[in-house]
């Protein structure tokens, strides 16, 4: 059953070839069998899953089911789930049981989807390898010595190993697209404001965006349909009509103008990745698209700007974790100051502390103009680069990362080398534009990811282009050995 895509499972549920209870038991058993090697889940919720599966079967029998009714999903542990521990990968929230439901998970519940559990992630989504999790690193199912990417690495590993039909992720600087690339999945970071951030624990609020991680573009379309839409509870949610994401999947891409940003193919790009992108260009040309070179002249400024803006926002957002209101509290505090200091010193891991310090410094009096203000100006230049590019082309094609998945431990002592792996993904977050990552090949048994970036609210078009590519290639259908 787990070989099937979400779309296929949905059809099998609707035709009564399988029941949600059977499917849910099957995935729970796979989690039991395989997750001790992968560590992709922080919390498994078998009771909740069984209860939801029964309710889903009743809805299917009554003929009142949606495409997602009865589909077993996993959610990144950044989404608040009422009555279920929501840790955000941190010791700080190890004992936090969310008192309310995030909009994203509430929408999936309303559609009748089943929740198998909460997936592992970098602490507070800060990282690109899932090694900063309080719950230990996650292994890549394609090669257990390698990282699955991050910060949504638990979701990526769980979907790639077929421990769930699909999962949710969040992308602040690449956290959906980079792990999708490292594990041969399709992952979509929507336009900023397309999906509600209500109940999604905030890291960098002006960049954070939830999205689907799945086996194919078609599966992502089905998931996005449930996730997208205006939410008055999130002040940055955009009241823009939601497209029908599945009806346009079979549209022709003849005449599509694809741009390759020349700055992304300069030094530092692994040669197998470059060759895979070239082969993808050939495939797109064969489908009638035109490929041309474009320029995103300020691309090299993206990393320094992001690593000022994201920590600055994080330092503010994470001030709420003070040992008083949420989560971890130190033992026997001498007074209130001691309580704050020790709860934060003991509750946060090294990378989170580093970013709080960088962010607080960048925002402090005397440095604000030199760092934060400059970074905001660069952000505008990067947005303008995209707007100029979309005058010339319909979409931009580029790798998701400079290399395939690196080894666990390889970059752990050098945070800057880890930050540099985000070079191709963070520009889209700074500009707020959508991007879809999809598999483009393999090298030494490890997946190679590429991404298509489009103008604001072009999700339906991106899904259509990715689906057309997947109709003519089979990278996305491959399953890691042993799973
Ligand atoms: N959260 C993300 O999108 C990952 C990015 N590497 C970061 O650490 O900020």
DSSP secondary structure letters along 335-372: SHHHHHHHHHHHHS-HHHHHHHHHHHHHHSTTTTIIII
- Selection from 203, 8, 234 nearest residue 107 by Cα: 234
Three-class SS state of 154: helix
Give every CB contact of residue 206 below 8 A, 6+ residues apart in sequence: 192, 236, 309, 313
Q: Using CA positions, which residue lies closest to atom 5 of ligand 1?
A: 173
Atom of ligand 1 nearest to the CA of 207: 3
If you measure from the C-alpha of residue 246 to the centroid of ligand 1, how many angstroms do you get, rounded to a whole number? 29
- Selection from 355, 437, 393 nearest residue 189 by Cα: 437
How far apart CA 314 and CA 71 sit, in angstroms, is 34
If you measure from the C-alpha of residue 125 to the centroid of ligand 1, how many angstroms do you get, rounded to a whole number? 6
pLDDT computed for residue 268 by the predictor: 87
Query: What is the best residue among 88, 89, 121, 125 to mutate for testing ligand 1's pocket, by most ligand atoms within 8 Å of CB?
Result: 125
How far apart CA 68 and CA 49 sit, in angstroms, is 14
If you measure from the C-alpha of residue 194 to the centroid of ligand 1, how many angstroms do you get, rounded to a whole number? 19
Q: Are residues 398 and 280 in contact, defined by beta-carbon separation less than 8 angstroms?
A: no
- Selection from 174, 184, 42 nearest residue 116 by Cα: 42
Q: How many CB atoms lie within 10 A of CB 112?
A: 25
> Helix count (H) and strand count (E) of the chain?
15, 11
Phi-psi map region of 217: left, alpha, beta (phi>0 left; psi -120 to 50 alpha): alpha
pLDDT computed for residue 267 by the predictor: 79
If you measure from the C-alpha of residue 249 to the centroid of ligand 1, how many angstroms do you get, rounded to a whole number? 30
Atom of ligand 1 nearest to the CA of 306: 9
- Average pLDDT across each block of 10 residues of the chain; the chain has 483 residues. List them in order: 97 98 98 98 98 98 97 98 98 97 98 98 98 98 98 98 98 98 98 98 98 98 98 98 97 98 91 97 98 97 97 97 94 97 98 97 93 97 98 98 97 92 97 98 98 98 98 98 96
If you measure from the C-alpha of residue 173 to the centroid of ligand 1, how many angstroms do you get, rounded to a whole number? 5
- Selection from 474, 483, 453, 355 nearest residue 40 by Cα: 483
pLDDT computed for residue 280 by the predictor: 98
pLDDT computed for residue 57 by the predictor: 98
pLDDT computed for residue 266 by the predictor: 83
Atom of ligand 1 nearest to the CA of 125: 1
If you measure from the C-alpha of residue 171 to the centroid of ligand 1, how many angstroms do you get, rounded to a whole number? 7
* DSSP alpha helix (H) spans, 77-132: 103-111
């600055």: which residue's tokens? 312
Answer yes or no: is the ipTM higher than 0.90.
yes
Q: Are residues 123 and 78 in contact, defined by beta-carbon separation less than 8 angstroms?
A: no
CATH code: domain 1-483 is 3.90.1300.10
Query: What is the best residue among 121, 173, 303 to mutate for testing ligand 1's pocket, by most ligand atoms within 8 Å of CB?
Result: 173
Quick one: 15 exposed, middle or buried, by C-beta within 10 A (0-12, 13-18, 19+)?
exposed
pLDDT computed for residue 328 by the predictor: 97
* Dihedral over alpha carbons 343, 84, 140, 186 (to 10 degrees): -120
pLDDT computed for residue 204 by the predictor: 98
Q: What residues does ligand 1 touch, defined as CB less than 6 Å away?
A: 125-128, 151, 171-175, 310, 422
- Return phi, psi of residue 467, to 5°: -65, -40
The catalytic site residues sit at: 76, 151, 175
């Amino acid at each position: 059953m787990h070989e099937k895509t979400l779309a296929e499972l949905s059809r099998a549920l609707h035709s009564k070839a399988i029941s949600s209870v059977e499917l849910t038991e099957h995935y729970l058993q796979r989690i039991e069998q395989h997750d001790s090697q992968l560590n992709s889940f922080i919390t498994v919720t078998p009771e909740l899953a069984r209860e939801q599966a029964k309710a889903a079967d009743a809805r299917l029998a009554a003929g009142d089911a949606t495409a997602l009714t009865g589909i077993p999903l996993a959610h990144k542990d950044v989404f608040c789930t009422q009555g279920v521990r929501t840790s955000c990968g941190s010791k700080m929230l190890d004992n936090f049981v969310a008192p309310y439901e995030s909009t994203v998970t509430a929408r999936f519940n309303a559609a009748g989807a089943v929740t198998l559990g909460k997936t592992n992630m970098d602490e507070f989504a800060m990282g690109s390898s899932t090694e900063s999790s309080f719950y230990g690193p996650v292994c890549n199912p394609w090669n257990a010595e390698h990282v699955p990417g991050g910060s949504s690495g638990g979701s990526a590993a769980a979907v790639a190993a077929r421990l769930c039909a699909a999962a949710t992720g969040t992308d602040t600087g690449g956290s959906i697209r980079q792990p999708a690339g490292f594990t041969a999945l399709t992952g979509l970071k929507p336009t900023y404001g397309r999906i509600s951030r209500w109940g999604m624990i905030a890291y960098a609020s002006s960049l954070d965006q939830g999205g689907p991680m799945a086996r194919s573009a078609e599966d992502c379309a089905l998931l996005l349909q449930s996730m997208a839409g205006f939410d008055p509870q999130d002040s940055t949610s955009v009241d823009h009509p939601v497209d029908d994401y599945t009806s346009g999947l079979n549209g022709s891409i003849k005449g599509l103008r694809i741009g390759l940003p020349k700055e992304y193919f300069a030094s530092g790009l692994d040669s197998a990745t470059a060759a895979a992108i070239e082969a993808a260009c050939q495939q797109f040309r064969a489908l009638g698209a035109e490929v041309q070179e474009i320029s995103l002249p300020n691309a090299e400024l993206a990393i320094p700007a992001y690593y000022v803006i994201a920590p600055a926002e994080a330092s503010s957002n994470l001030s709420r974790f003070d040992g008083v209101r949420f989560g971890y509290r130190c033992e026997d505090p001498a007074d209130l100051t001691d309580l704050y200091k020790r709860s934060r010193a003991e509750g946060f891991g090294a990378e989170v502390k580093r970013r709080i310090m960088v962010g607080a410094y960048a925002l402090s009096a005397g440095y604000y103009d030199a760092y934060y203000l400059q970074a905001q100006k660069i952000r505008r230049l990067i947005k303008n680069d995209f707007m100029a590019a979309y005058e010339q082309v319909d979409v931009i094609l580029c790798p998701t990362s400079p290399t395939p998945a690196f080894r666990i431990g390889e970059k752990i002592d050098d945070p800057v080398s880890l930050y540099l792996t985000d070079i191709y993904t963070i520009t889209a977050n700074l500009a707020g534009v959508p991007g879809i990552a999809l598999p483009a090949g393999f090298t030494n048994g490890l997946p190679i990811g590429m991404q298509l970036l489009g103008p604001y609210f072009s999700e339906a078009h991106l899904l259509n282009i990715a689906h057309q590519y997947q109709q003519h290639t089979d990278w996305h259908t491959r399953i890691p050995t042993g799973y």
